[in-house]
Structure 1
């Protein structure tokens, strides 16, 4: 088999007129390099070659993305699963399913300054935790983590600190004792020269807590467009293999597709340092489970649901088949993984 057929799949290069149109609605207006696996890399290297015409649309948050998905104005959404469960609590008959886990590990562990005396989640009792906003899902999640650690969730105070410089300033000026944002924002703060450290807890064992964020689709869309959804997922899985094999090339591809995401006012070396910290923070939270990119175990999913129940986002656990369809994963992973890694290692613009 030729390298092109190995990497791009049996369809090869598809004519633009014959490509299947798919609208992918991101839950963020701007996608930083941490999202390259489900955006820029497959857009640049894989989706077109596999017969897909993917339009990437930035939306203002997971709730807006879910509303667009339910309304049929977008076809696929990469989003944080806390929003998916919150939606099911409000709309029990929503026919939305996750079919590929794009961030397998929990990625919103509270962090403190590196020299902070706080070590564990339990140490947050009576402390002040900074969040992007008080409406953010991290608030009930932090309370749930405290409850699971055996502490008093009601003792934690919360303060809205925004993100980036504002959050870093709140932490360094001792306005808050910890912040709970997510991996990419924590990395951006560290890239600006503020060393951070994650708090620990037995509840954060990644073998028991995963399924953090996934690709979602309507159940009817999955059924009617299975072959094309597999191609889309395969492009994302290839994006993971590519980015893990050559993160710097992944960042450069992201800048090529989304030029506005390259840090301005600094030289290329400094821009790359920031880009790599952002991407690597996410890559460490993407595990390849049981040989399948995009997979999650039942234990990880149940652990995440238990976290949602403890935080009050869900009243009770849901049946897995209500929101999770892993039946596409083997076909999504049906490509030469080593050929993609080699492509990444040899990549030149």
Structure 2
């Protein structure tokens, strides 16, 4: 595959977080080593959530008393819009856990950051209909991912999970992903870019995907569901914190797992949290399909992501499993 010049990473976009590795991270410590204890003897944890999605189980765990029952005092804070600022917060002990997606985490792991995935929140699954995907004009000559060779594709951010899935599908269908040009555009303007011809195709998601689809754009493929098991949301911590506070960390991820189960059985609870903590429209929340939450991380699929992201020059190295997962993280081998 010919070499190509990569555009620097874009900023965080809804649900699919990109943990860019900034220079200041190298100067950070390896994380607070002990759990703070509240006056009533409960373990204190601060967790940084994403700005807009997949954080619902955290609030459910709080509302349903799962954290309290586990003896935990959990504070949920909104993480930085640019999630490259979340890793230093965890490494410095300002927070014990933070959210990201698979490619976001892997960019940190590839730089040998001492962080580990503690649990999953959501992975792509055929149990739900796509809520993201590649989109073109109805009369576009692009009928498949292979047809993207020689075209320009608009993305909400460069270098992350979305760019990976497009390149992966181009290659899977027999095309050459190095022949696709990617440009970063504001998420709200992706649909217009495809309709106006500014780009040949775009990849959109969530409310923007639904709006563009309603506006007449044609969808190609099944979005992230074309690679079932690709991790879309995880909680990570530092290796040091997880090692020295394993019992507390285990209680935390078990409480989140209970909340995942509750969220899957009570979509109305998910929608209530979205109404309170997001800027999504009431109409979209009412009619949207809620995510399927899953604690498990498929190591086989993750290894595919690692290998291919490195091949596509989206990762600087291929971190081994012991540099990715906490040894008590809920992992499976599937794919």
Q: Report the TM-score when normalising by structure 2.
A: 0.73
Match of 1:300 in 2: 301
The alpha carbon displacement at 1:56 in A equals 1.6
Match of 2:142 in 1: 118
Question: Which secondary structure state, in structure 1, belongs to the residue aligned with residue 318 of structure 2?
Answer: coil
Question: Which secondary structure state, in structure 1, belongs to the residue aligned with residue 40 of structure 2?
Answer: helix
Q: Distance in 1 between matches of 2:124 and 2:327?
A: 17
1:69 matches 2:90: yes
Higher alpha-carbon deviation: 115-124 or 138-147: 138-147
Match of 2:314 in 1: 313
Question: Do 2:146 and 2:175's aligned partners in 1 also have CA atoms closer than 8 Å?
Answer: yes
Higher alpha-carbon deviation: 219-228 or 313-322: 313-322
Match of 1:274 in 2: 284
Match of 1:225 in 2: 245
The alpha carbon displacement at 1:98 in A equals 0.6
The RMSD of aligned alpha carbons is: 3.3
Which 5+ residue runs of structure 2 have no aligned equivalent?
1-37
Match of 2:202 in 1: 179
Assess, with a 3 A threshold, how the Cα gap between structure 1 residues 120 and 203 changes in structure 2: closer, same or farther: farther
Match of 2:34 in 1: none
Match of 1:189 in 2: 211
The alpha carbon displacement at 1:36 in A equals 0.8
Match of 1:213 in 2: 233
Match of 1:98 in 2: 117
1:31 matches 2:52: yes
Quick one: which of 70, 74, 90 aligns to 1:50?
A: 70
Question: Do 1:247 and 1:276's aligned partners in 2 also have CA atoms closer than 8 Å?
Answer: no
Question: Which secondary structure state, in structure 1, belongs to the residue aligned with residue 187 of structure 2?
Answer: coil
Assess, with a 3 A threshold, how the Cα gap between structure 1 residues 136 and 261 changes in structure 2: closer, same or farther: same
Assess, with a 3 A threshold, how the Cα gap between structure 1 residues 134 and 99 changes in structure 2: closer, same or farther: closer
1:86 matches 2:112: no
Quick one: which of 129, 147, 162 aligns to 2:153?
A: 129
The alpha carbon displacement at 1:130 in A equals 0.9
Q: Distance in 2 between matches of 1:24 and 1:202?
A: 26
Cα deviations by residue, 1:138-164 (Å, 9 ceiling, x for unpaired): 446534543454323332223332113
Q: How many residues align?
A: 287
Q: Report the TM-score when normalising by structure 1.
A: 0.70
The alpha carbon displacement at 1:119 in A equals 3.7
Quick one: which of 238, 247, 255 aligns to 1:235?
A: 255
Q: Distance in 1 between matches of 2:269 and 2:224?
A: 36
Match of 2:166 in 1: 142
Assess, with a 3 A threshold, how the Cα gap between structure 1 residues 162 and 311 changes in structure 2: closer, same or farther: same
Which 5+ residue runs of structure 1 have no aligned equivalent?
1-14, 264-270, 287-292, 331-349
Cα deviations by residue, 1:271-298 (Å, 9 ceiling, x for unpaired): 1x41255562x32xx4xxxxxx411233
Cα deviations by residue, 1:2-37 (Å, 9 ceiling, x for unpaired): xxxxxxxxxxxxx983332111112x3x334x4312
Assess, with a 3 A threshold, how the Cα gap between structure 1 residues 201 and 222 changes in structure 2: closer, same or farther: closer
Quick one: which of 9, 24, 44 aligns to 1:21?
A: 44
Q: Distance in 1 between matches of 2:275 and 2:238?
A: 31
The alpha carbon displacement at 1:322 in A equals 1.4
Q: Distance in 2 between matches of 1:223 and 1:176?
A: 48
Higher alpha-carbon deviation: 184-193 or 145-154: 184-193
Question: Which secondary structure state, in structure 2, belongs to the residue aligned with residue 25 of structure 1?
Answer: strand
